[in-house]
Amino acid sequence: MGSAGGYDFSFKILLIGDSGVGKSSLLLSFTSHSLESLAPTIGVDFKIKQLTVAGKKLKLTIWDTAGQERFRTLTSSYYRGAQGIILVYDVTRRETFTNLTDVWAKEVELYSTNQDCIKMLVGNKVDMESERAVTREEGLALAQEHKCLFLECSAKNSINVEKCFEELALKILDMPSLLEEGSTLVKRNILKQKPEDHPPTNGCC
Ligand code: GTP
C-alpha cells in the first residue's frame, strides 16, 4: 500500500444546512486550519482533503452547498453519489435545528442516490455556550430519530472538526455497499480516474 499521492478509497461528502450555520467555516477549518471571514456560498464549492483512517488512505471530496433557498434547485444535483452527508445546524439558532427536519432531511430523502449513505448531524458554534438555544440532548435525540451520527463542534475553535470527518469516513468504510464500484468509489490500483471523475477545477459551479 501507499505510493506517494495515492489513496485506497475516494469518498464524496456533502455539507448541507441553513445559511450561516458554518458549513464553509467547518470545511475551511478542516482543510486549512483557519477561519477567515466568509461570504455566503454561491451555489456549490468543494475542497479535497486526504486523510488516513483505520489504516486506509482516503481522498475526501467535500462539497459545500449554499444554504440560501434561492440556490436550492442548483444544489440538489450534488447529492448524487454522495457516500456521506453532514447536516449542520447552529446551536445558537433554534430555527436552523428545526429546519433539519422541516427542510434538510426531506432534501436528503428526495435527492440522495445511495440508500446506505451515512448521515451525520453536527451542531456547530458550541464556543457560544451562553447563547445556546438547542441542548446537546435534543441534538442527540434528533440524530437517533433520523439514524444519524451526532457531534457538536466549533469551527471557530477547531473543536471536534477533524473528528466529524474522521467518524463519518470510518462509518462509510464499515458499509460494504458504499465501497462498491458505481457508488463513485475509486479503488486505487484497480480503477484509473478518468478526467470526468474530477470536479471542475475552478472549485465553483
Ligand atoms: P452559507 O454559505 O450561506 O450556506 O453559510 P455557511 O453555513 O457556509 O456559514 P459560514 O461558514 O459562512 O459562517 C457564517 C458565520 O458564522 C460567519 O460569520 C462565521 O465566521 C461564523 N461561524 C462559523 N462557524 C462558527 C463557530 O464555530 N463559532 C462562531 N462563533 N462563529 C462561527
d(CA 171, CA 163): 12
- Which residue puts its alpha carbon closest to atom 22 of ligand 1? 22
CB 198 within 8 A of CB 192: no
In this predicted model, what pLDDT tens digit does every residue of 100-143 receive, in sequence order? 999 999 999 998 888 899 999 999 999 999 999 999 999 999 99
Q: Is the pLDDT of residue 87 over 70?
A: yes
CB 178 within 8 A of CB 117: yes
pLDDT of residue 182: 53
Q: In what order do the strands lie in the sheet with 56-65?
A: 44-53, 56-65, 9-16, 84-90, 118-124, 149-152
- Which residue puts its alpha carbon closest to atom 20 of ligand 1? 37
Contacts of 191 (CB under 8 A, 6+ apart): 181
CA of 6 to the centre of ligand 1 (A): 32
Q: Tell me the best of 15, 18, 25, 163 to mutate to test the pocket of ligand 1, counting ligand atoms within 8 Å of each CB and taking the most.
A: 25
CA of 23 to the centre of ligand 1 (A): 6
Pairing between β-strand 44-53 and β-strand 56-65 as defined by DSSP bridges: antiparallel
Rounded to two decimals, what is the model's pTM? 0.85
The set of long-range contacts for 93-99, using a CB threshold of 8 Å and a minimum separation of 24, is 93/18, 93/20, 93/21, 93/133, 94/133, 94/134, 95/18, 96/17, 96/18, 96/20, 96/21, 97/123, 97/133, 97/134, 97/138, 97/139, 97/142, 99/17, 99/18
d(CA 184, CA 93): 35
CA of 130 to the centre of ligand 1 (A): 17
Indicate whether residue 158 lines ligand 1 (CB < 6 A): no
pLDDT of residue 204: 36
Share of the chain above pLDDT 70, in %: 77
Indicate whether residue 68 lines ligand 1 (CB < 6 A): yes
Q: Is the pLDDT of residue 41 over 60?
A: yes
What does the pLDDT average to over 34-52?
74
Q: Quick one: which of 81, 46, 48 has its CA closest to 181? A: 81
User: If DSSP codes are grouped into helix, strand and coil, which group holds residue 118?
Assistant: strand
